[in-house]
């Protein structure tokens, strides 16, 4: 039975999609059967692995709004252990279309139950907002990973996200937990990075992953080639960081 993990932070530019893509690919490389779901209308996670699969026109939008069976919308990639449920820009209209739907918060969850036995992990890349798409992801998830960039406004808006998580736990999904908090864009040369890391560590304590994702040019370049960091430059700091993170996630769950 798959463990479903949402990767979410309503603040943009924190490395959320980069983390979703590279965690999923690193899991697959570690021979862990993985599904990546792109719930963001910007479809950046889909673009980030676009060189690994051929799109057939179906996407998460069809699953949420047209009752397309989830297994029919899943695309197999060149990696034996990695599948993707892609997104398109059509998804931007899904929140409006779902408003009048009965049990609209559970549309993704209702579909996911049909494939959870096929995977070890399912990762959901959430949009940078706390709307209905993110609520669908959190309703379907066992846990959430929160990426936080090592910048001045790192903790801005975090209280709102934590409050949303508490509301989802109380009213929609009692089993939702925080799998971990991930520091991204860390630069050991900057005092600011160290200060933010110390502040986040004091707040989240054991919820903070020991692995940090260091600021790395290769991580930024890889999506423009439709590749995860491991395929673009396997020896890059970013690729190694995500492999270490996956090892930490698997160790925590063992």
The CATH number of the domain holding residue 192 is 3.40.50.300
Helix, strand and coil content of the chain, in percent to the nearest 5, comes to 50, 15, 35
What is the model's pLDDT at position 207? 92
User: What does the pLDDT read at residue 57?
Assistant: 87
Beta-carbon contacts of residue 19 (< 8 Å; ≥ 6 apart): 7, 145, 147, 182, 184, 213, 242
The gap from C-alpha 113 to its chain's centroid, in whole angstroms, comes to: 19
146 membership: H or E segment, kind and range: strand 143-149
Of 98, 107, 93, which Cα lies nearest the Cα of 139?
A: 107
pLDDT digits (tens, 9 = 90+) for 34-53: 999 999 999 999 999 999 99
- Structural domain including 70 reads 3-253
What pLDDT does 50 receive?
94
Regions of the chain short of the pLDDT cut 70: none
Q: How many folded domains does the chain comprise?
A: 1
Q: How far apart are CA 233 and CA 218, in angstroms?
A: 7
pLDDT of residue 96: 86
């Amino acid at each position: 039975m798959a463990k479903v993990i949402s990767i979410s932070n309503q603040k943009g530019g924190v490395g959320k999609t980069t983390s979703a893509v590279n965690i999923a690919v690193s899991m697959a490389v570690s021979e862990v059967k993985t599904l990546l779901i792109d719930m963001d209308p910007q479809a950046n996670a889909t673009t980030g692995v676009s060189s690994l699969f051929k799109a057939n026109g179906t996407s998460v939008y069809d699953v949420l709004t047209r009752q397309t069976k989830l297994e029919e919308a899943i695309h197999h990639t060149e990696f034996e252990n990695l599948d993707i449920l892609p997104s398109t820009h059509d998804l931007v209209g899904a929140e409006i279309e779902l408003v009048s739907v009965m049990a609209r918060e559970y549309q993704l969850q209702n579909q996911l139950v049909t494939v959870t036995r096929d995977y070890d992990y399912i990762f959901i890349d959430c949009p940078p907002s706390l709307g209905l798409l993110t609520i669908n992801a959190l309703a379907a998830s066992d846990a959430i990973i929160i990426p936080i960039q090592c910048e001045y406004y790192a903790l801005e808006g975090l209280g709102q996200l934590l409050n949303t998580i508490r509301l989802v736990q109380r009213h929609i999904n009692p089993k939702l937990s925080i799998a971990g908090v991930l520091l991204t864009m860390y630069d050991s040369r900057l005092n600011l990075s160290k200060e933010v890391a110390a502040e986040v560590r004091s707040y989240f304590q054991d919820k903070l992953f020991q692995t940090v994702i260091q600021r790395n040019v290769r991580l930024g370049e890889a999506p423009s080639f439709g590749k995860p960091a491991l395929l673009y430059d396997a020896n890059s700091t970013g690729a190694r960081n995500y492999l270490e993170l996956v090892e930490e996630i698997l160790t925590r769950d063992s």
